[in-house]
């Protein structure tokens, strides 16, 4: 029996909105307001938001591959999104993509959204699509692709000010649809209007059902030209607006600001056909790109990604918010992606059964209290099945329902199939990457071009820093050994994966997989008895008497790429020489406004050093790169993007007054 022992109210955990139903209509007692009009809610949404942002007309003018971005304050039951998505799929150019960014501090539960959907049977297919990807209530951004990538939904479960302060959305149109100004003043403040302007393109439109004078004046002060027009139904007036005075918003970290690139053709070269390279390829292919994937081995997933098993688990930090936000969103994103891939594959490679995790006394509570994790994400268990076996009775057992375990090699093979003819696999060894006539070339030992494109991504694991232009990246190799343990009568009681000082999977085809050891600087490619005994010792200490010792060495050795700060490296490759010159005075602490915008090696990106959390981090990292390359809304906050940036290593040195060698 699983019982959460953390109290939601006491710890202020994020949870689904408390909705009451009045005559079939959703009502929020906390704000004393309804989610949509009890008479003509659908018609009002179409009139206020779609019609008065002139969406149908504007969509027809979009050119191929041009995205359109709608931003909304207050996602609520998703009605505005559903109607916008329906209209887009019916009226938009098939070669274009809709990005819908919505901020919601109190997410509505899937059950309540499903109940709302009953009002409009003709919208059931659209609601089904939304509910199939709808995230659990965890703070942060949750990006999901719908209808084969025609629509990207960015659900941001945060306070509106925090969300807009840390993003650069570039919205084309705005829906201001939070609870009324007299019910939820936080959504209608001058600060919010300023942030709306910051996150808009010049000429962006805006509409809202309210005609309150302070809203009109606040939008005007933020640079909008505001008009009052006839409201819907019994409402006499409503507001529409156009941004006519787009202001400059200098960054306080200009060294992380990227210049948007424009490519002639949506083609890319990726070096490395492991999990990182293939997830990156898949993210681009879903956006209509053609990818050349270069791999020195004959098959995909021949190195660390060839392990027979690995956990999908987040790395949870109490003190580093950006790291915790990244891995929290990454877990949920990867879980959704793996679900989609598994549904289309006859080969079983993903086991979405949740994961038990053992924490030292007090740590799990601290994590939940610090980050407000809802029980749908992480729950402390009272009297779990494992408690009968765990030797340390002071330990806390938690359960992560959205976690699981997977065969990395099986995942890679499914990604290869999913990319189809849009991916060309080239079996060659890349000696270096060079730029010639605005094209990045991957060249062999004789300097001959293997493949070239305007966009290149370095994703070859422990070899990520073997190329001259990124040779300064602090990537090293860590040896890990996985042990295969035959199942026994006692071990069959472990029905879910377990994470502790090591990890172990449930029985699959008569075997448990446990590991992995951690050996820095060890290049031995052979299995060792010493490391197998180390893994078995961890298991015996945690679950005494559950597993029998294998009669022989059985497992696999892999080499994981790690950075010197143990964080993945994801983003554009900086121009090291330009950084050395432009930011040589950075250690003096002068205002950031005195420094120029950073220079990057246009079109070159890095996705590397995912360490032992690659199954969790690879999918979201790939989506970050795809959005970065295309210049569409990023699936994480700017703080997370900067936390992952390759440039962070150069900036840290410069801030300490060290020269870049």
CA gap 284, 273 in Å, rounded: 14
The residue out of 243, 275, 293 marking a domain boundary is 243
* Residue closest to 208 by CA, chosen among 233, 182, 231, 185: 231
- Whether residues 480 and 461 share a domain: the answer is no
User: Which residues are CB-contacts of 207 (< 8 A; sequence separation ≥ 6)?
Assistant: 48, 49, 52, 53, 173, 174, 175, 176, 238, 239, 240, 241
List, in order, residues 6 or more apart from 306 with CB less than 8 Å away: 408, 409, 556, 558
Residue 115 lies in a domain: yes
Q: What is the pTM of this model?
A: 0.95
Percent of the chain, pLDDT > 70? 97
User: Domain holding 583: CATH number?
Assistant: 3.50.50.60
151-157 and 98-103 beta bridge pairing: parallel
Maximum pairwise Cα distance, the chain: 81
Pair 451, 340 in one domain: no
List pLDDT tens digits, range 164-180.
999 999 999 999 997 78
In a domain, 24, yes or no: no
Lowest-confidence region among 79-88, 202-211, 356-365, 469-478: 356-365
Query: Could you tell me if residue 9 is inside a domain?
Result: no
Q: Do 172 and 299 share a structural domain? A: no
| 408, 49 Cβ separation under 8 angstroms | no
We report the CATH number of the domain holding residue 541 as 3.30.9.10
Question: pLDDT value at position 38?
Answer: 64
Let me know whether 186 and 77 are in one domain: yes
297 and 310 inside one domain: no
Q: 174 and 140 share a domain? A: yes
Nearest CA among 445, 334, 261, 369 for reference residue 9: 369
Q: What are the pLDDT digits (tens) for 357-375?
A: 999 888 999 999 999 999 9
Last residue of a domain, one of 494, 524, 556: 556
Total domain count, the chain: 4
Torsion angle of alpha carbons 565, 566, 571, 575, nearest 10°? 30
On whether residue 494 sits in a domain, the answer given is yes
**How far is C-alpha 468 from the chain's CA centre?**
30
Residues 395 and 337 occupy one common structural domain = yes
Rounded CA-CA distance 276/301 in Å is: 10
Residue 472, judged by CB atoms within 10 A of its CB (0-12, 13-18, 19+), counts as middle
Checking phi first, is residue 68 left (phi over 0); if not, alpha (psi -120 to 50) or beta? beta
Q: What is the model's pLDDT at position 501?
A: 83
Range with the poorest average pLDDT among 58-62, 336-340, 359-363: 359-363
Q: What are phi and psi of 88, to 5 degrees?
A: -60, -45
Query: Cα–Cα distance between 640 and 624 in angstroms, integer?
Result: 10
Whether 234 and 269 map to the same domain: the answer is no
Structure tokens at 102: 């919505």
Based on the domain organization, do 84 and 218 belong to the same domain?
Answer: yes
Residue 82 lies in a domain: yes
> Phi, psi at residue 411, to the nearest 5°?
-60, -45
pLDDT band at residue 12 using 50, 70 and 90 as cut-offs = low
Distance CA 242, CA 224 (A): 5
What's the pLDDT score for residue 4? 37
How do residues 370-413 score in pLDDT, each as one tens digit? Answer: 999 999 999 998 866 676 667 677 788 999 999 999 999 999 99
Q: Print burial letters for 567-602: b (CB count within 10 Å at least 16), e (below 16).
A: bbbbbbbbbbeebeebbeebeeeeeeeebeebbbbb
Is residue 182 assigned to a domain? yes
How confident is the model over 319-331, as pLDDT tens digits?
899 999 999 999 9
Contacts of 96 (CB under 8 A, 6+ apart): 59, 62, 63, 64, 65, 66, 67, 68
Q: What is the pLDDT of residues 264-316, one digit of tens each?
A: 899 999 999 999 999 999 999 999 999 999 999 989 988 888 899 999 999 99
pLDDT at position 568 over 90:
yes
Whether residue 584 is contained in a domain is answered as yes
Are 283 and 432 part of one and the same domain? yes
CATH number of the domain where residue 229 is located: 3.40.50.150
**What is the predicted pLDDT for the residue at 138?**
95
**Residue 14 domain-assigned (yes or no):** no
Read off the pLDDT of each residue in 14-26 and give the average, rounded to a whole number.
87
Clarify whether residues 134 and 238 are in a common domain: yes
Cα distance between residue 386 and residue 469, in whole Å: 50
Instruction: Summarize pLDDT for 510-557 with one digit per residue, the tens.
Output: 999 998 999 998 999 999 999 999 999 999 988 888 998 888 999 999
DSSP type of residue 258 = P
The rounded mean pLDDT for the chain is 92
How is 443-492 classified by DSSP, letter by letter? E-TTS-EEEEESEEEE--GGGTT-SGGGTTS-EEEEEEEEEEEE--TTGG
Expressed as residue numbers, the domain containing 483 is 476-556
Residue 582 near residue 541, CB atoms below 8 Å: no
Domain's final residue, options 539, 556, 573: 556
Are both 353 and 299 inside the same structural domain? Answer: no
């Amino acid at each position: 029996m699983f019982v959460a022992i953390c109290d939601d109210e006491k710890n202020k955990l994020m949870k689904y909105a408390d909705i009451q139903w009045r005559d079939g209509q959703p009502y929020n007692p906390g704000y004393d307001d309804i989610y949509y009009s009890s008479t003509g809610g659908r018609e009002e949404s179409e009139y206020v938001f779609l019609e008065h942002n002139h969406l149908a007309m504007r969509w027809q003018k979009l050119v191929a591959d041009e995205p359109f971005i709608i931003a909304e304050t207050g996602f609520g039951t998703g009605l505005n999104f559903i109607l916008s998505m329906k209209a887009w799929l019916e009226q938009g150019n098939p070669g274009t993509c809709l990005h819908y960014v919505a901020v919601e501090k109190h997410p509505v539960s899937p059950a309540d959204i499903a109940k709302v959907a009953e009002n409009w049977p003709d919208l059931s297919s659209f609601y089904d699509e939304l509910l199939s990807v709808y995230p659990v209530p965890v703070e942060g951004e949750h990006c999901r692709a719908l209808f084969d990538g025609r629509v990207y939904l960015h659900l941001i479960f945060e306070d509106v000010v925090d969300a807009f302060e840390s993003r650069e959305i570039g919205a084309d149109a705005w829906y201001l649809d939070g609870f009324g100004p007299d019910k939820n003043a936080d959504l209608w403040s001058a600060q919010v209007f300023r942030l709306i302007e910051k996150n808009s393109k010049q000429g962006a439109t805006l509409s809202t059902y309210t005609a309150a004078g302070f809203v009109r004046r606040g939008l005007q002060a933020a640079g909008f030209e505001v008009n009052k027009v006839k409201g819907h139904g019994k409402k006499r007036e409503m507001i529409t607006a156009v941004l006519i005075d787009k202001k400059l918003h200098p960054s306080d970290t200009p060294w992380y600001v990227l210049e948007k690139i424009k490519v002639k053709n949506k083609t890319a070269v990726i070096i490395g056909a492991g999990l990182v390279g293939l997830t990156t390829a898949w993210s681009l292919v879903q956006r209509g790109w053609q990818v050349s994937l270069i791999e020195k081995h004959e098959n995909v997933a021949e190195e660390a990604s060839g392990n027979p098993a690995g956990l999908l688990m987040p790395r949870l930090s109490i003190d580093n918010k950006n790291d915790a936000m990244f891995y929290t969103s990454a877990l949920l994103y990867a879980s959704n992606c793996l679900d989609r891939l598994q549904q289309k594959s006859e080969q079983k490679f993903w086991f979405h059964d949740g994961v038990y995790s053992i924490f030292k006394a007090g740590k799990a509570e601290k994590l939940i209290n610090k980050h407000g994790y809802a029980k749908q994400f992480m729950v402390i268990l009272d009297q779990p099945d494992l408690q009968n076996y765990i030797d340390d009775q002071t330990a806390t057992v938690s359960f992560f329902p959205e976690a699981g375990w997977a065969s990395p090699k099986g995942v890679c093979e499914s990604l290869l199939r999913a990319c189809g003819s849009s991916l060309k696999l080239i079996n060659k060894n890349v000696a270096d990457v060079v730029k010639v006539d605005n094209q990045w070339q991957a060249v062999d030992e004789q300097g001959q071009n293997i493949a070239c494109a305007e966009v290149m991504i370095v994703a070859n694991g422990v070899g990520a820093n073997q190329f001259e232009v990124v040779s300064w990246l602090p990537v090293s190799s860590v040896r890990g050994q996985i042990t295969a343990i035959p199942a026994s009568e006692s071990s069959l009681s472990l029905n879910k994966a377990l994470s502790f000082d090591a990890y172990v999977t449930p029985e699959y085809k008569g075997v448990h997989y446990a590991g992995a050891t951690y050996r820095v600087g060890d290049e031995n490619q052979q299995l060792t008895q010493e490391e197998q005994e180390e893994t078995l010792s961890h298991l015996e200490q945690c679950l005494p008497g559950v597993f029998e010792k294998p009669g022989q060495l059985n497992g696999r050795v892999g080499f994981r790429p790690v950075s010197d700060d143990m964080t993945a490296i994801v983003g554009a490759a900086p121009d090291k020489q330009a950084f050395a010159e432009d930011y040589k005075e950075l250690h003096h602490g002068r205002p950031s406004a005195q420094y120029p915008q950073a220079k990057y090696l246009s079109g070159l990106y890095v996705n590397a050093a995912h360490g032992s959390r690659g199954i969790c981090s690879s999918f979201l990292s790939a989506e970050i790169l795809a959005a970065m390359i295309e210049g569409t809304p990023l699936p994480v906050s700017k703080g997370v993007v900067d936390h992952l940036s390759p440039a962070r290593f150069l900036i840290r040195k410069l801030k300490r007054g060290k020269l870049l060698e």
